[in-house]
Structure 1
Amino acid sequence: MTRTDGPILCFGELLLRLSPPGHGPLFRESRLDANFGGAEANVAVALARLGRSSGVISAVPDDVVGDAAIDALRRSGVDVSRIARSDGRLGLYYLAPGAGLRASAIVYDRQNSVFATRAATAYDWPALLAGAARLHLSGINPAIGSAMADICLAAMTAARDRRTGVVRRQLPREHVGEMVCGPSRDPSSARRPCRFVVRQSPRHRIAAAASAGW
């Protein structure tokens, strides 16, 4: 029987978001606002704000940027004890919010981040998932690094073996599936250990943490 007590753990990359003040385009002004987030971190923060115990499994640089990212989660009530530290960089993205007829513009700069280059052997999934009620991860994860597809599959398999429910957020991006699977990987293999698959459409988004930078 799948357990229902314990925290919901969200596995994914923490990112630094740089965006112009207000709703202007990028670089029209000489400053950018900085906030921390990421798809899975957003879910963890939303859950914490709703009164549900949550935590993040990730990796950030062992420097002041990593300190700030962890502090941002901690201030929101998220358990950060499963976030690893190592030398390297934090992934980031530039976001210009849409206004009027202008669509939002986003540019990612996350290649070779600490999270993307972390080895599969660095994750002790039985220990990381101890006491968890659910494991949440998104479909973008496997496309981040060369080993990430296997890491995600190992995480979901370990969760299934421990009777920990798995929620996998499926993104509506065909190219992500191609990046994850490649010519020889079966796309359905990433869903086999899952108990739930959440499909996201443009009209159905998690917005509980949209304010305050998340």
Structure 2
Amino acid sequence: MDWIRWISIVLVMNCGLGSLYSLGHTAEVTDAGTWKTYTNTRFGFSVRYPPDWRPGNPTPGGTGITFSPPTEDTQVALFGFMNVIEGNSPDRRQTLEEFVMAHRRIITELFEKKHIKVSWETDHPTKLGGFDAKRLTFTYRSNTNTEMREIHIMSVGRNEGRGVRIKIPASDTGMMIPLVMKLLETYQPGRDQNAVSPFAPARGDQPSTPPR
């Protein structure tokens, strides 16, 4: 059951990998006063996003949403999740480091099943909505032989976590990242990630080494 939870989180991050539309113009760091607002009703987090970013359908369970900017092959996904797997925190939940290790491992395994080599860059500490977070970055070649870069930013509280997934062609990194960083400045985490959870940490078939 714990493995299923992990796969569910990863699939939420990777949902909507189908074709994206392109309007043939570059992203610009525009006045955020014209931006629209998205609020997630399940976890309460919110963000402002450019008006030309197309919001997709909500992810399964209402955990988040994927935006498609007009830049081709680019996606930005935001999501929340429950921290219900046993770990080494004082509450016996997973710590941020344990979650990151598990996340990295599962991403690598999923890509290996597709015979795609993943190259990981150095992790960096950061903040997401004021909470301590980690930024993971990796590159790979798509099925069209385009070099892609993905940036995953995740925070983990005693009860819940929040995440952001950025998928861009490596050649567009310099153009898109300033716009994404401006978007993240508007991010609000919603309800308290450290509130006392009604769930007991899960055990069972949890992998012996912390999942990515």
Same fold? TM cut 0.5 = no
Structure having the larger proportion of residues in strand: 2
- Give me the TM-score of the superposition, normalised by structure 1: 0.24
- Give me the TM-score of the superposition, normalised by structure 2: 0.24
Which fold has the larger relative contact order, with Cα–Cα distance below 8 Å and residues 6 or more apart in sequence?
Answer: 2
Structure having the larger proportion of residues in helix: 1
